[in-house]
Structure formats: C-alpha cells, structure tokens
Amino acid sequence: MANNLLAGKKGIIFGALDDKSIAWKIAERCVEEGAQITLTNAPVALRFGQIDELGKKLNAPIIPADATSMEDLENLFTKSMEALGGKIDFVLHSIGMSVNVRKKKSYTNLNYDFMHKTFDISAMSFHRMMQTIWKLDAINDGGSILALTYIAAQRVFPDYSEMAESKALLESFARSFGYHFGVEKNVRVNTVSQSPTWTTAGSGVKGFEEFFGYADKMSPLGNASAESCADYCVTLFSDFTRMVTMQNLYHDGGFSNMGMSPRVLED
Ligand SMILES: NC(=O)c1ccc[n+]([C@@H]2O[C@H](COP(=O)([O-])OP(=O)(O)OC[C@H]3O[C@@H](n4cnc5c(N)ncnc54)[C@H](O)[C@@H]3O)[C@@H](O)[C@H]2O)c1
C-alpha cells in the first residue's frame, strides 16, 4: 500500500546487489512511496549482480561507485544531483563485507591487511559518503541519512567476527557526524539494526541457518523481514521522523530486549 510518504523526494540507494538484498527492497518501497532515486554499487557488483533489472523497473539511473574511493563518491553525488535535478533528500548506506570472514580466518587469527579492508568497506565508507555529501553541499534541509547495522556491535556473536567492530565503528560515525549534520544542515543521521536476513552478505556468516532460527524464536514478533525493514526505512526518510537523529534503532522483532525465551527450548 502506497501513501506517497516520499512524494517529491530524491534519494540515493547504495548496496542493491540482487533481489534478496535489503537495499533492493528499500529502493522498491521508496519509489512506490513517490521518491525519485539513483542506484549505486561497486563496479564489480554491477557486473555480477542484477542491479540493471532494478534500474529498469524503477526508472532509476545506475551510477557505479566503489564506496572506498573518494573520487567515485564525488562523481556519484555530482551525477546523481544532475540526474535527479537538484540536491538529494535521503541516502541509504547498505554495504558490508568482511575479508577475514570470506577467507575463513578465525577471530583469534585475523589478518590485519584484510581487517583494514573490511573496516574501509563496511564502516569508513559511511564517513567517506557523509564527508562527500558535506563538501558538495549535496543534501537538502530536513534530509535523512541512514545505514544498516547489526546488534553484534553491542553483544557478542562469535561468528560475526570483525564485522562486530565494523558495525560499532559505523554506529559511532552516525552519532559523531550526526551532530555536525544536525547543527549545521538540519539533517538526520541514524542506523537501523536489522534482524538476520537471508541475503548474500547475511548467509556468508558461518552457522547462519541455525542462528536465523534461534533469533526468530527469541524475537516475540519473529525476525523482521527485508520488506518490513524497507517500510521502516521509508518512515525514517519521510517528514514524520524529522526530530530523530544520532540513534541506533532496533528493527528486530524485539530480539534486542530479550534475555531468554521458552520458545528456544521447545523442539
Ligand atoms: N543480512 C543480514 O542478516 C543483515 C542483518 C543486519 C544488517 N545487515 C546489513 O545490511 C546491509 C546490506 O546487506 P545485505 O544483507 O542486504 O547483503 P548484500 O550482500 O545484498 O549487500 C551488501 C552490499 O555491499 C556491497 N558492497 C560490497 N563492497 C562494496 C564496495 N567496496 N563499494 C560499494 N558497495 C560494496 C555489495 O555489492 C552488496 O550490494 C549491510 O550493511 C549488512 O551488514 C544485514
């Protein structure tokens, strides 16, 4: 059901790879709610993913950008403003990748070159993105910047490995840059802490299937789907949440406030 919550707004969505990606669902919902968007992903993801299909469906230009390259980011924001006909109103950061997890390194034997790369892609890219927006003065008064995160930033989930620290850094960037964006530009910056979700990035974590079931039982409302995450993000891009900033917002069916659930002990 569309309510035109984003009528007249312009946005940029990072991180739609295929139709399982959380960013894919968010892009679809934003356009349903009346927004005009550009889509972006790393050049390599454009070759292997299905983003072309989404671009056609949503009539959204696709502008490649490696989120670790300042040059690519500048080009992305400049071209997006040209394509959309003015400054943007919202941005979604939906990017995560751990090199050590990919290479199956255990947490007690991490490679630090890989760790640098992981932090750069998964967390520093958020600061890079916000700094580019800041320098180009690319966002309108009342705008909204969001990144997706996970509760491993606060609690220990051993198989999440160095992504836990990436998410802690990402959430801290949201608070620190949120201060500057608030006082000088009247722009919100928040992170949404999402339930485990079946995507390329999600299912790359060891033991994901078992963990997905555990989290589903622990959460009174069950795991939040990518579609419901998209609904929530639409509200955070809309004018109905203009005073919410510098927050880490749990979108997890209640998981984050649970201690124990009898459902976990049932067969
Ligand atoms: N799936 C889950 O269980 C879950 C739970 C909570 C939070 N999240 C977060 O949601 C976000 C989206 O992940 P997803 O689960 O939809 O998986 P996904 O694999 O569909 O998305 C990850 C995206 O990051 C992009 N990316 C990787 N390196 C990049 C680079 N250098 N430059 C630009 N883009 C790059 C990939 O191309 C991909 O589109 C991530 O931040 C992830 O940590 C996922």
What CATH class does 10-265 carry? alpha beta
Residue 2, SS3? coil
For residue 161, the model assigns a pLDDT of: 96
**Domain residue ranges in the chain:** 10-265
Collect all residues with Cβ–Cβ distance below 8 Å to 245 and sequence separation of at least 6: 178, 181, 182, 188, 189, 190
Task: Give dist(CA 23, CA 31) in Å, integer.
Answer: 12
Q: What stretches in the chain show pLDDT beneath 50?
A: none
Cα dihedral value 251, 103, 126, 154, nearest 10: 40
Q: Does the beta carbon of 150 sit less than 6 angstroms from any atom of ligand 1?
A: yes
Collect all residues with Cβ–Cβ distance below 8 Å to 64 and sequence separation of at least 6: 40, 41, 42, 43, 46, 72
Q: Does the beta carbon of 152 sit less than 6 angstroms from any atom of ligand 1?
A: no
- Among protein residues, the one whose CA lies closest to atom 11 of ligand 1: 94
CA 260 / ligand 1 centre spacing (Å): 29
- Among protein residues, the one whose CA lies closest to atom 42 of ligand 1: 96
Type of residue at 253: G
Please state, in angstroms and as integers, the Cα–Cα distance from residue 69 to each residue in 23, 66, 127, following that order: 20, 6, 12
For residue 230, the model assigns a pLDDT of: 98
For residue 174, the model assigns a pLDDT of: 98
For residue 263, the model assigns a pLDDT of: 95
